[in-house]
Amino acid sequence: MAAKVVAIIPARYNSQRFNGKVLYPIAGMPLLYHIWKSISSSKSLNQLLITTDDKRIKNAAESFGADVLMSSSRHKTGSDRVAEISEKVSGDIFINFQADNFGIKPPFINNLVANFLRDKSEKYATVVKKIKNDNLLFNPNCVKTVLDQKDYALWFSRFPIPYLNSFKGKTRNSQHNFWEHIGIYLFRKSGLRKYAAWKRSDTEKAESLEQLRILENGGRIKAYKTTANIISIDNKNDLRRIKI
């Protein structure tokens, strides 16, 4: 029997850097619509849901045709919200797509799902891409990832890692391959249940990076490399980078 793949977009209204951004109008429609529309075109997904604890988001999402399930307001991370929904719907693989990641295309999703289906032993996976300039490297909104030789994540941080002890060039990215974390998480059902059962650690809270919970509890996260132009909308200035 083929694995059922469920994609979930956790969406919250209150955002520290850009409040209400998922409902911010772009070309006459909310940002959330554009994320949902692009993901919904993938034939690799068996089901696509939006989950939120805010009725404004629920009403907006249902108005453009999305399936919405309400979730608790107690959640501190999108993956905890996804974990709650995973107990309400059937599925083998759950993908957490961030509601502010613009530029996700069906071919990218299809490749991502194919990789995770092939890597049957993996419980967790995510996406990374090369950092091409030092401005992005030193931007705390750009999460940096250190990989081992088999492309498993060793650590994530908003701080540039690793530190270049003998930096001599004009740009740091010309001296070392730095990797940006793209906020997409793939879970097998058993891995997602474990994730939800683990408590938030001090490091996760300090960095505000939910994926650290997996590493701190001995889990491994496979990192799939991409060159896709996926833009995280963290503030209004980021809107200038997108094209409709």
CATH number for the domain that contains residue 106: 3.90.550.10
Map residue 218 onto helix, strand or coil: coil
Cβ atoms of 104 and 38 within 8 Å: the answer is yes
pLDDT at 144: 97
Note down the domain range covering 124.
5-241
Map residue 113 onto helix, strand or coil: helix
- Which candidate, 179, 212, 8, 26, places its Cα nearest to that of 102? 26
Position 242 confidence tier, pLDDT thresholds 50, 70, 90: confident
Q: Which helix (H) or strand (E) holds 137?
A: helix 134-137
pLDDT at 167: 75
Q: What is the mean pLDDT of the chain?
A: 94
What is the Cα–Cα distance from 66 to 229, expressed in whole angstroms? 24
- Which candidate, 106, 9, 88, 12, places its Cα nearest to that of 49? 9
Position 179 confidence tier, pLDDT thresholds 50, 70, 90: very high
pLDDT at 164: 87
Name the E strands within 20-121.
25-26, 29-30, 47-52, 68-70, 93-97, 101-102
Cβ atoms of 9 and 33 within 8 Å: the answer is no
More confident residue, 149 or 165: 149
Position 90 confidence tier, pLDDT thresholds 50, 70, 90: very high
Looking up tokens 């540039």 gives 160
Domain count, the chain: 1
What is the Cα–Cα distance from 29 to 173, expressed in whole angstroms? 37
Q: Tell me the mean pLDDT in the region 74-101.
A: 97
Specify the pTM. Answer: 0.95
The share of the chain scoring above pLDDT 90, in percent, equals 85
Cα of 51 vs its chain's centroid, Å: 14
Q: Tell me the mean pLDDT in the region 176-201.
A: 96
Give the C-alpha distances (Å, rounded to integers) separating 107 from 42, 49, 72, 103: 7, 19, 32, 11
Give the C-alpha distances (Å, rounded to integers) separating 162 from 93, 137, 176: 32, 11, 9
Instruction: Give tens-digit pLDDT for 98-132.
Output: 999 999 999 999 999 999 999 999 999 999 999 99
Burial category of 234 from C-beta neighbours within 10 Å (exposed 0-12, middle 13-18, buried 19 and up): middle
